[in-house]
Amino acid sequence: MEIHPIKNDEDHAAALAEIAKLWGAVERSEDDDKLDLLATLVSRYEATRWPTDSNMDPIDLLHFAIDELGHTQAELAELLGSRSRASEVLNRRRALSIEMIRKINEAWNFRFSF
């Protein structure tokens, strides 16, 4: 794969596919260098394409993930244990617990910080 700036979602998908192929490359090898470059480009593109304010409200971030990033309330329900619990969280009737935050972070690759 020729490495070039990521300018759209198609480039992003191709870079992610290439990263998957290169994952686990031998340290200090040419493949490891490619992996490092691609990861940097992907990170930069994602920060520009889907910016998140580090002070963003966690519930707003969940709504953003559902509305814009392709996640679903059903996925959230599976992570949190039930549809009613997911609904309560999204409607601010139940606070996120540390365990909930950990599960969401792992599954959706979020970086919640409080």
- Give the pTM: 0.52
What does the mean pLDDT of the chain come to? Answer: 87
**pLDDT tens digits, 3-52:** 889 999 899 999 999 999 999 889 999 999 999 999 999 988 888 877 76
**Which 3-state string (H, E, C) describes 10-78?**
HHHHHHHHHHHHHCCCCCCCHHHHHHHHHHHHHHHHHHHHCCCCCCCCHHHHHHHHHHHCCCCHHHHHH
